[in-house]
Amino acid sequence: MRQSLNHILLTPDEMGAADAASAESGIPSFGLMERAGQAVAASALRHFPGARRFVVLCGPGNNGGDGYVAARALAEAGASVATYHLGDPQKLKGDAKLARELSGLPSQPLQDYHPANGDVVIDALFGAGLARAVAEPVVDVIHKVREAKIPVLAVDLPSGLCGRRGIPLGAAFEANCTVSFMTRKPGHLLLPGRLLCGEVEVFDIGIPARIIEIAAGKTRENSPVLWRNLLPASGPDTHKYRRGHLAVFSGPASRTGAARLSAASGLKTGAGLVTVASPSDAMEVNAASLTAVMLHQIDTAEDLETWLRTAKLAAFVLGPGFGVGGRARQFVLALRDHPLVLDADGITSFRDDPSELFDAFADGDTHLALTPHEGEFPRLFPDLASDENLSKVEKAVKAAERAHAAIVYKGADTVIAAPDGRAYIDTNGPPSLATAGSGDVLAGMIGALFAQGMPAFEAAAAAVYFHGEAAKRVGRGMTAEDLAAHAGVWLDP
């Protein structure tokens, strides 16, 4: 895969547009199919050198054409090959028809395949563009292959998996590895698709990069190359106020830990000063546990207004352990003109009237970051959450546009979205992040980058990435306290 295309993700429709543009530019489409099929064969031989037989399952479209090319290449390499077709192969058209003719190999109906010991299945039934549930003969083969524990190499995407949403359409193969072409699709990264694809290899089959870049939308895999030029940098004249003053709101005395986690991670992520804004009943508890992080008493919205007028504050985090209700809403509305990360209880506080929140932050540059997990997202965006036709990326993008906010739709496949349609899928977070308090740490990291001047979307994307890197640095047995202590991993030389 060309370096310039590393992080581009094409939806099936965008890939179709790239294929069409490639043909219009004079590039022979069969040449692309030939290179794709040869790449599949090479991958199969490399991954499964001990295979007794390669079983190539060919569909009725161009994905099947790739399969016929792969079958021919494997046979020419001396491998044992059996080919099975879905539908009537006499009805094949265009490149797929030519690929079958050139293979010179006999094929049998798909339903006649019975797994045998030593088989490796090459799944070339459907590509990423599948839009409806797979038919019964395909479901039967998927189940037979799974029950027999036959290894699978998928062409483009495991058959049955939606390339746009990453969800099975009725049933889908579980591949050991997947060979894609030019770029990956969202379905390779979104869950559960990521788990069904196995190792994903991307082969350059010769479509010019300019065509891919023109066809591409605004979805990418989250990576430092996308935002590293906006990371805060320190110079010889840097001082703490230039690195920003982050304020994190604490909950009552019995719920102070979440805010302290956010504050600690904010300090580690480079904020020049961090203050926990605490209600009076929690001052003593917080004071006993804070050293470099400062403490300021805030009980009412009037206290907050006074603090905003008199202190030099760059960004805010509200929600972790704060409590749900009118006080949270009052504080958020008082912060409408300031960079704010709204998490947890802050999000839930607006579930009865999300438009109150959205209207408050509708003007000017984006200066609100919302960090809902799967349970919180429906509280602000119930219609989007329930729309099964939308992918997680599409839900996040529509939510970002509606809220005029950077959206961090959390999960093992976290999606970060901007109001202008940009969306990054994050893939570097390890399973150890599934621990209490990790979201509080993330909120503090976003807030710190916000305080240091990064735009909302880039601050969110960078924080999510470094959150994952910090977790990997800690390793097994990680707690949220460990994670917060390693939040500055990206500052390492």
Summarize pLDDT for 460-470 with one digit per residue, the tens.
Answer: 999 999 999 99
Cα 287 to the center of its chain, rounded Å: 38
| CB-based contact 179:40 (threshold 8 Å) | yes
Indicate the helix (H) or strand (E) that contains 443: helix 438-451
**Which sign does the torsion angle of CA 8, 14, 16, 19 carry?**
negative
What does the buried/exposed string (b/e) look like for 258-289 if buried means 16 or more CB atoms within 10 Å of the residue's CB?
bbbbbbbbbbbbbbbbbbbbbbeebbebbeee
**pLDDT tens, 40-60?**
999 999 999 999 999 999 999
Greatest alpha-carbon span in the chain: 82
| Structure tokens that stand for 458 in this block | 């880039």
What distance in Å separates the CA atoms of residue 19 and residue 207, rounded to the nearest whole number? 8
Listed in sequence order, the residues at least 6 apart from 441 whose beta carbon sits closer than 8 Å to its beta carbon are 261, 262, 264, 265, 467, 480, 483, 484, 487
**pLDDT tens, 205-232?**
999 999 999 999 999 999 999 999 999 8
Of 221, 150, 440, 222, the residue nearest 318 (C-alpha): 440
Phi and psi torsions of 213, nearest 5°: -65, -35
End-to-end CA distance of the chain: give it in Å, rounded. Answer: 28
Listed in sequence order, the residues at least 6 apart from 47 whose beta carbon sits closer than 8 Å to its beta carbon are 153, 176, 177
Token pair 């909950």: residue: 251
| CB-based contact 202:441 (threshold 8 Å) | no
What distance in Å separates the CA atoms of residue 74 and residue 79, rounded to the nearest whole number? 5
Mean pLDDT, 10 residues at a time, the chain of 493 residues: 81 95 95 98 97 97 97 98 96 96 96 97 92 92 97 98 96 98 97 97 96 97 96 68 89 97 97 97 97 97 97 97 98 98 98 98 98 98 98 98 98 97 97 96 98 97 97 94 90 54
What distance in Å separates the CA atoms of residue 132 and residue 149, rounded to the nearest whole number? 26
| Structure tokens that stand for 26 in this block | 């004079």
**pTM of the model as a whole:** 0.95
